[in-house]
Chain A
Amino acid sequence: MLICGIAPAYAGTVKYTFVDSSGTSTCNGITLTETAITAVGRNTGCSDPDYAGGFPGRLARLEDDSDRQWVITTTQMISNPGYVYVFVIDQKALTYQLWQEDTTSAVTFQLLNSGKLKKGAQPMEVGHSGAKSLFR
């Protein structure tokens, strides 16, 4: 397979909780099953459990472009219909950025939030009021 240039069939599942810029855990998380070229998963915790997916790559001139980042796209159909959310996840530095866009609210593609990733699933269920949600 390597001789033919075909990536080996590799898949691993990662689970993260999002921590805000002040170091406080949010009630949001994400679970992704990653291959060499794509990731497929869902939002977890207090997020709407919409599908999430994307690609790995090296983004041009972000804060730290030495690491490979995952660009993961998702939405929140119940809480924020129409919004498109894009996570930029650095699994080496354990950091993330959350970008958003929503035509009906006149929100062009822009950075909403950033912070650190904590390994492990977010245990809080929908409706838990102990932590803030990452999403607007």
Chain B
Amino acid sequence: MITKYLLPTAAVMLIWGIAPAYARTVKYTLADDSGSAYCDGLTLTETVTTAVGTHTGSCLDGDYAGGFATKFSGMTDRMWIISTTDMLNGPGCVYIFVLDQKALTWELWEENTSANVTFEMHTSGKLLKGTPPAVVGPSSATASSSSHSN
């Protein structure tokens, strides 16, 4: 029965070049360059094109996060550009995470008009698989940085 219906469907999808509906959920903790975890992370449900999820962690209030898979010029890995905010700790700030899920690295860029922060890189580090621990400590956004203004 399964073969009777699924194989013709798969054949039609291949003939027409339709990508199969694909979605997976990834859970990451943001860590510094030495691997020490911050109190925040990202949980994202990714399709081929987009990701939708939340900025997680006990130090946050779980703002939505989402973005796109992108190939930057001159880079081999596909990156995810994920936008979010932190209404609890930094209202008005827009945070943009650039995730390399192959190399397990991230960059955090931010902009905040009221604090006169134009679009600039704040910090970077390693991605750890799994949700962030319930620890008291800095988040990726409140970690010290020369460009950080909060």
- Give residues in A with beta carbon < 8 Å to B: 5, 36-40, 48-62, 68, 71, 73-75, 77, 81-82, 84, 86, 88, 99, 101-104, 107-110
Contact = CB atoms under 8 A, between A and B. Distances in A.
B49 A61 contact: yes
Contact of A53 (B72, B91, B118): B118
A107 B109 CA distance: 22
24 contacts: A39-B119, A51-B112, A52-B111, A54-B81, A55-B81, A57-B72, A57-B81, A60-B49, A60-B68, A60-B70, A71-B70, A73-B96, A75-B85, A99-B66, A101-B65, A101-B66, A101-B83, A102-B64, A103-B61, A103-B63, A103-B85, A104-B87, A109-B83, A110-B66
B48 A82 contact: no
Interface string B80-93: 01011101000110
- The dominant DSSP class at the B interface is strand
B79 interface: yes
A86 B72 CA distance: 17
Interface of B: 19, 48-52, 61-74, 78-79, 81, 83-85, 87, 91-92, 94, 96, 98, 109, 111-114, 117-120
A77 B85 CA distance: 12
A54 B66 contact: no
A53 B70 CA distance: 16
Contacts of A62: 49, 68
A84 B84 contact: yes
Given A73-B83, A86-B67, A103-B63, 13 more contacts: A5-B74, A49-B113, A53-B111, A55-B98, A56-B73, A57-B79, A57-B81, A60-B49, A68-B73, A73-B111, A84-B84, A104-B87, A109-B51
A82 B79 contact: no
B42 to A, nearest CB: 12
A68 to B, nearest CB: 8
Given A73-B96, A74-B94, A77-B114, A59 B119 contact: no
Contacts of A53: 96, 109, 111, 118-120
